[in-house]
Structure 1
Amino acid sequence: MTARESIHGKLNKLRQQSKQTGQIQLSASALTLWAEAGIHLLLAAVLAGAVIFEGYSPFGVALVGAAGSGLCGGAALLGACFGYLCQMGFADGLRYASASILTFAVAFAFYDLKAIRRSWTMPLLTASINGAAGFIYLSQQGWKTVDAIYFSLEVCLTAAAVWCYRAVLVPMRVHREDRLLSPTRRAGLLVLLATALMALVPLYIYKDISLGRILAVLAVITAAWQGGLATGAIAGVSLGMAMDLAGAGIPMYTMAYGLSGMMAGLCRGKARLWAAMVYVLVNGGAVLWTWERELPLSILYEVFVASVAFLLLPQRPMRKLGVWLAPQMAGPVDLRAQALVQHQLEATAKAFRTLCDSLRSAFRPPENDNDVATVFDRTASRVCRSCSLRNNCWQQNYTTTFNALNDATPAMVERGRAEGSDFPSHFSHRCIHFSAFLSTVNEELTALFYRRQYNARVKESRAAVGRQYAQLADLLGAASAELSRELIPDLLGDRKLRQRVAELGLDIRTAVYRDSRGLLRVEAEGPGCSALARPSRLSDLSDLLGVPLRVDQPGEDSISLLQQEPLMALAGVAAQKKSGETVSGDSGTYFKRSDGKLYVLLCDGMGSGPDANRESSLAVRLLEQFLQAGVEPRHALSTLSSALALRGEETGGFTTVDLLQVDLFSGEGQLFKLGAAPSYVKKGSAVQRLSGTSLPAGLAEGEQGALDQFTLKLAPGDTVLMVSDGICGAGEDQWVKDKLAQFDGASPKDLARELITDSPKEVTDDRTALVIRIEKRAAGQMKSSLK
C-alpha cells in the first residue's frame, strides 16, 4: 500500500540518519506535520469527553474518521482511545475505542482506493462502524424506545460530524494558503467548536459555573460583535444547542444564547462595551422570562465572566475573526464601475463638443440666389436702372422683354457665356446699352456659376458633417459597449483584499476587477482610503494580490489602484521656432492612459507662426481628448482629418500628424502618420527609417486607408525618434540616423537637443525632436512611466 510504504520509507530514512550522524534533524515541514499530529491527538482526546443524551459520545470516533490514515489519523486514534478510556467507564470507553480502531484500520487498509477519498465515503463508513459497535453493545442491555431514538440520532450525528470535521482538517493538512473561510469550512469550524465546548461543560470553575459555557458565551458575543445580527443568532443557537445537548437536553440555552447573540449583533461596528451590555441585559431578560421554568441562575454568572473576558480580548485577533465571519459574496461590490463608465463617456462627449464648436465657427450660411433669373435681375439693377427706356422695357413691354430674356437663357447657360445672337433682334436693336447689358450678363452668369459651385461644396460639406456625427455616434456606442464588458470581477482577489482591509481596521468597501486584457484594478471607497496609497501599504497589497500596483485617481474617500506596467518610457523633447516668429508651428504631447498605453503626439501646422501653431495645437488637443476617452487611434485620426478638411474650406489650413502608441505591458506598438516627416526606431545598434506617403490631415478625405501605419515591437533599450520636417528639410537624413545609432540611452533629452543644434543651417522652419526610450521598470518602483 502506498500509505504504508510512505511511512516505512520515512522511518528508514530517520533510522539511517540517526546511525550516520548520531542525531535526527527535522525539517520545517516535518515539524509542521508533527504539530498537526499533536493538534489531532489533543482534539480527539477532548472530543471523546463530549457526551450527549447522558451516555453517548460519538465525536471522538468522528474525528478519527475525518483524520484519515496518515500520521494525523494515527494521532487522532491515540487521542480518542486515551480520552474514551480515561473519561468514560471501561465498557462504554471500550465500545467507542473499538469503533475508533476499526475506523482507522479501514481508512488505512483502503487508502489507495479513490472511493475512500470522496467526501461522503468516510462519514458513511464511520457512522456504520460506530453504529455496528453500538448495536452490539446496546443489544446486550436490551432495547427501549428512547434508546432506539438516541441510537439513530447518534449514527446521524456521527456522519454529520465527520463531514464537518473533514471540511476543517483536510485544508489544514494540504497547507492551503487561502485563509478565508468558505461556507462549508465555517460550518465545520462551528461544529468543531461546539463539540469541543461540550466536552468542557463538566469542568466547573466554581460550583455549577461551567468553563465550557463561559467559553461558549464568549464565542457568541465575539461572533455577534464582529459578524452582525445574523452571525450572532446562528452562533447563539448553535452553541446554545450544544450546551443543551451536553446538559439536560431541554433547549433553554438555545433560546437564551440565540436571542442574546442576535441582539448583540446589532452593535456591530460600535464599541465592544455596547455589545457586552446588550448581551448581558438581553440574557438577564431571558432568565426572568423563563423564571417559572427554572433556567439555571448560573448562566448569569457565566455571562458576566464571559463579558469581562470579552472586554479584555486583544483587538487584532478580533479583526481576523471578523474577516472569517464575513459572508462570502458572489462577486465584489460594484463601487465605481458605473462612475468609471460615465467618466469615460463624458470625456468622449467633451471631445465631440470641442470638435463641434470648431466646425460651427468655420461655417457660413450660403445665399439662396443661384437661380438663373437672378442674372438678369442683377444686370437690370446695374445697367437698366439709369436708362431712359427703363419704363418702356420693364413696364409697358414687360412680357416682350421677359420672353426675349427667356429665349436667350438656354443657349447662354449651355455655352457658359452670353452672345448677342442669343437675344432676339427686336430686343438687341431696341436696347440703347446692349453692349454694356451683354457684358454685365456675362459677369453675373460667371458669378452665378461660382455660387453654384460654392453651394454644392457647402452641401457636400454638410453631408460630410452628417456622416461625421454618425461616426461619432457609433464610436460612443462602441465605447459604451466596451466599457460595460471590460471589467470582470476577480472574486479571489476581492476576498483577499477584504480580509486584509478588515485586519487593518479600515472601514472601507473594496472591489477588485480584471479588464479585458486580464489586468488588475482595485477600487475602494470610504474614510481612510488614503492609507492604501502609502508606499509600505501599497507594497503589501501588491504582494497580497500577486501583481505590482500603482495609485490612480487618489482621493480622501475613494482611491483606484491599477496594475503597474513592467515597462516605462523616458522622454526627451527639444524644440526651436523659426527665426523671426514669436511661436512655433509645431505642437506635441505625450501621456499614458490608465490601461498602460503610452501615446506620443507630434503635429506640424502648415507654414509657421501663430496660424500654424493654432492648427497644430487644435489637432493635438482633439487627438488627446479622443485617445484619453478610449477612441481607437485610426478612428481618431480619421475624424480629425475630416474635421480639418472641413475647416480648411475657408481657412485653407492643414497639419501633419505623427502618433506613436506603445503598450507598456507587452511592448507592442503602432506608429501612425499623416504627411509627417520620417521617424526612426533604434533596436540594438540598428536604426530603421519609417516614412509614409499619406497626405497631411486636412488635405486627405479622412478615410482610414489614407494614413500610414507601422507595427512595432519594442523591448527595453529600444528608442523611437520623432521629428518635424524642420530637422532635415529636403536634405539627406543620414546624419540623423548616425546620431541615433551612437545614442547610448543615457539622456534622451540631450539627444533631442543635439538634433536641434546640429540640424542644417539652411533649414528655415520650426524644428522639434521627440525621443522616447523604453526601459524595464525596476522592482518596487512606483513612479510614473514618463520621465
Structure 2
Amino acid sequence: MENTGKQWIAPVPDGKFFDLRQSLRLSEAYLVNKIKEIFLKRGILLFILGFLLGRAFILSELAPFSLPFLAAISVFQAARLPLVFIGVESGALSVSVIHAITLLGSIFFFFILKKMTRPLTKENILWTPGLVFVSLFAGKLIVDAVKNGGVLPFYFLMAAVEAGLGFVLTYIFLQAIPLFAAGRRRQPYKTEEIVCMIILFASMLTGMIDWKMDGLSVANIFARYLILIFSFTAGAAIGSTVGVVTGLIFGLADIGMFSEMSLLAFAGLLGGLLKDGKRFGVAAGLFIATMLIGVYRLDDHGLSVTLYESAAAIMLFFMTPKSFTAFLAKNIPGTPEHALEQQQYLRNMRDVTAKRVEQYSSIFLALAKSFGKQERNEERDEEVDYFLSNVTENSCQTCFKKEQCWVKDFHKTYGLMKTMMNELNEEKAVRKKIRREWDRHCIKSGKVLDLMQKELHFYQANQKLKKQVRETRKLVADQLYGVSKVMGNFALEIQKERENLDKQEEQIFDCLKNFGIDVGDVEIYSLEEGNVDIDITIPYCDGMGQNEKLIAPLLSDILGETIIVYSENCPHVRHEYCKATFRSAKAYVVETGVAHAAYDGGFLSGDSFSMIELGRGKLALAISDGMGNGEKAHRESRETLDLLKKILQSGIDEEVAIKSINSVLSLRTTDEIFATLDLAMIDLQDARAKFIKIGSSPSFIKRGDRVIKVQASNLPIGIVQDFEVDVVSEQLKAEDLLIMLTDGVLDDPQAAENGEAWLKRRLAEMETDDPQAVADLLLEDVIRQRSGKILDDMTIVVAKIKHNNPKWKSIPFHSYKTEKGA
C-alpha cells in the first residue's frame, strides 16, 4: 500500500483509487440504514419489544406491561398492531398457556370497551390509560374468580395494583412509542421522553430475567449494555438514572435482583464521569463498579460470573456503530453533541437569514442602478427628431420643394432646423446669420419659424417634466442605494458569530467573588477593544454605588481598558437583584448647554434641537429652523429632526439621510414652508466632527483665544429636490467649545456691527467655558443688544469637548486577569 502522508490509498485493478476510510464509513452507513429499515420500518423492533413485554412480570405474579404497550401502539402505529399483537401473545405463550389466555381476554375487553366509548371519548388519547385500568382490573378479577372459585379481598387488592401499574405504564408508553417512528426525528428528545424510553427498555429487559447463556444472565448483560450506551452518550446524570430505574424494575420483577440496582447505578455514575476517556473510559467505569460491588456481595464464583457478564456487555458496547451513539447523543439535551447540533442549526438559520438579507440588498442595489441610469444621447436625439417632425408635418409636407430639401439637401436642412431649435430654446431668438441662411434655403422660412416657436412651448414643458422625473429618479436611486448599503452591513453583522465567552465569564465571576463582591450572574456580549459590553447582576445594593465604585474599576484593571457603568436597573424591593450594563469608556465626552427664545416672547418656537446617540461612540447635535414662526414652523422643524433621528439610527449614511428628508418634505407639502438643518456628528473616539449645513447659519469653534468659523452652503430643506450635500470636516480638541445657532441670533438689521464679527469678539472675551453659561450669556447679550426685543426665534447650542476621566481609578487585581477573546 502507498502512504500519501494523510491517509492510506490502495490501488484497485482498474487503475482507480479508493479511500479505505471513506469505504468503511459508507459500509457503516449502509449497515445502519439496513438495520433501520429492518427494525424500524418493518416493525421488527416493536415485535421484539412486544414479545419481551409479554413475558415480563412484577412480583412473579403481576403482568402490567403488555396491554399498556399494545394500547400505545394502537394510538400511534395502528398499522403495526397485528404484528405487535402476535409478538405480545407469543411472549405470553412462552410463559404459560393460562397467561396467554388471560392476556388475550384483557386485550379483547380493552378493544370492545374502546369501541363502545368512542362516541364519548372522541378518540382522545387521554382516555386510553383509563380504559387500560378497567380492562386489566376486570380481566384479573375474572381470571382469579375462575381459578379460585370466588373473589377474595387479596385478589381484589392485587387486581387493583396491576391495573394501577398499567394505568401509569400507559402514560409512559404513550410518550415512548413515538420515539420509534420510522421517519427522521427533527426535534431533540425531552427529558421526560428519555425517562419514559428508559422505563420501556428496563421493562423489556425483565422479560429476559430467566434467560441464561452459558450460566450468564442475558438480562444483566443487556442492562449493563444499556448503562454503557447512556453513560457514553449522556453523561453521569443520565447514566446513573438509567441504572437506578433499571435496577428498581429488575428488583420488582425478582426480589433477588435488588442488589443489581447498586451495581447499575454506580456503573452509570462512574461511566459518565469517565466518558472523556471515550469508550475505554466508560468500559473501565463498568469494570471498576463490577469489581467494587462484586467483592462485597459475591463469592469467588459469583464475582467471576458478574465479571463475565460485564465483559459481554462491554463487547456489545464496542460493537455498537458510532453513528448510533452519535445520533443518540445529538438528541439528548445537555450533551456537547446536542449543543453542537443546536449551534449548527442556529448557524444554518443565521446563514439563511444573512443570505436572504443579501438578496434583498442586491435587489435594492439593482433598483438603485436602474433608477440612477442617465438619459442617453440617443434619447435626446429622438426627442429632437420628434420635435422637428411635428414642425415639418404642418409645413414641409405640403411644400413642392420637399424632395429638394429633405432628399437632396437633407443634412443641410436638418442641421439648420436643429440649430434654430437650440437657439430658440436657449437664447429665445435665432441669430441673424442663421436666419439669413435659412431664408435663402427655405421658401416658407417664416412659417417654419412660427411653427417652431409654438411647438417649443410644448417641448419645454415636456423637458421640464422629464427633468423633474430625472431628479426624482436620482433621489430614489440614492435612497435605494443607502438602504442596500444598510442591509449589506446588516447581513455582515448577522454572519458575525457570537464568540463563546463562557471561560471569560467564569474568570470575571471568580475575580469579583474573590474580591468579596457577591455576584449573581455575568453575561459577556463583546470583549472587542473599545466596544466591551458586559451585563452583571448583584444582590440588592440599596443605592450604595457598588457598580460604579468597585465593579467598574475592577473590570478596568482586568480588561486593560477603562470601563464605565452604562446603565443600572436597581429594584425598590429587597431580595431582588440589581442589573448593570458595563461598556467601554470613550476617549472623549461632550457636555452641552442650550438656550432658546421664541419670537416676541412667545411659548412656541419655530426652532427645534436634538442630541442623538448613534452607537459606536458617535454623537449627533442637530438644530432645525422652520421658516417663519409659530406652530407651523415648529411642526416643520420638529418633523425634520424626528426624521433625521430615525434615519440616522437605522445606520444610513448622513448624506443619504439628508437627501431622504429633503425628498419627503419637498414632496409632502404644497405650502411654502421650509426648514433649515444644522448637523454636527462627533466621533467620541478621536473627536473628529463632520458638519452638514442645509440653509443654516455658520457654527463656531472656540479654542483658547481663537474662534474658528465653520460654514457650508446649501439651500434649506424642501425647496429643491436635487442638491449635493456639502460636508465640512474639522478636528476638534479637548476643551474646545462648539457653538451652533439659528439665524435669529446673527440677523439684526439695526446692528452697527456685523453679526458674525460681534459673535467672534464676544466669544473671545468670555472667561467662562461652561457650555450652559456660554449659551445663556450669548442669548442674554443678543436680547439686550436689541433693547429687549426678540425679533425672531433664537436657539443656541454649546458643546464642550472633554477628555473622558472616570470618577474612579482602576483597582489592581493582576492575579485574575482574563485573556480577551481567548
Tell me whether the two structures share a fold, i.e. TM-score over 0.5: no
The alignment's TM-score, normalised by the length of structure 1, stands at 0.42
Instruction: With the length of structure 2 as denominator, give the TM-score of the two structures.
Output: 0.40
